[in-house]
Amino acid sequence: MGRRERKKAATRKALADAALRLFIEHGYDAVTLHDVAEAADVSTTTLLKYFPSKEALVFDEEADQEAALVSAVRDRAPGTTIPQALRAHVKRVRIRPAGPDARSETDTCHGDFFDLVVGTPALSDYGHRMWMRRQDALARAIADDTGAPSDDLRSAALARFALEASAFARAASDAERALDAAFDLLENGWSATGSCA
């Protein structure tokens, strides 16, 4: 990476860090783009060159997160099914451990981020739309892994439902239990649930 690219990356990180700090300290709605630009010592015009919207400041690692999701399928341990690998990944990146005792000191920032997103409808909606944009990449990874054609409907359905499971779980009172129920259904099918209905 050249000097110019390093400087751009540093500016982008400074903006994202300043935004997150201000949003957590003052609340998302109370902070303006001008406030973020000023905290990072750049103009609002410069900020908008890096981030097209206020919501984008919070979700600045989209490409990395898509790569991690695809890697969960491609690089899973031998003997681990695709739904098992996706369940573990979604738990790790989308579901916060329950209760304050389950969170380590290093998870505090993640917890603050989680609280900010869940507590701000605009961010929650934006985050969900961003998460669902990974569906095509995940479907391709599943199809590649299983030797199915790139337009395989079963791969696309698994990708869609696996991603939607996180929204289902986060809306439940026990997110981890809800996520397990969703992935049990994806892994085993309805008839395995023991329900007669």
pLDDT, residue 104, reads 38
SS3 string of 26-71? HCHHHCCHHHHHHHCCCCHHHHHHHCCCHHHHHCCCHHHHHHHHHH
Half-sphere exposure of 141 (CA within 13 A, CB side): 23
Cβ contact 57:36 at 8 Å: yes
Tokens standing for residue 140: 């391709």
pTM over 0.85: no
* H helix or E strand, kind and range, residue 187: helix 175-188
Burial class (CB in 10 A: 0-12, 13-18, 19+), 23: buried
CA distance linking residue 165 with residue 148, whole number of Å: 23
pLDDT, residue 28, reads 94
| pLDDT-flagged residues of the chain (< 70) | 62, 96-110, 192-197
Dihedral sign of CA atoms 194, 135, 145, 83 in order: negative
pLDDT, residue 109, reads 55
pLDDT, residue 103, reads 40
User: Of 34, 42, 33, 35, which is closest to residue 14 (Cα–Cα)?
Assistant: 42
pLDDT, residue 96, reads 64
pLDDT, residue 99, reads 43
pLDDT, residue 113, reads 82
pLDDT tens for each residue of 33-43: 999 999 999 99
Tokens standing for residue 106: 């290093």
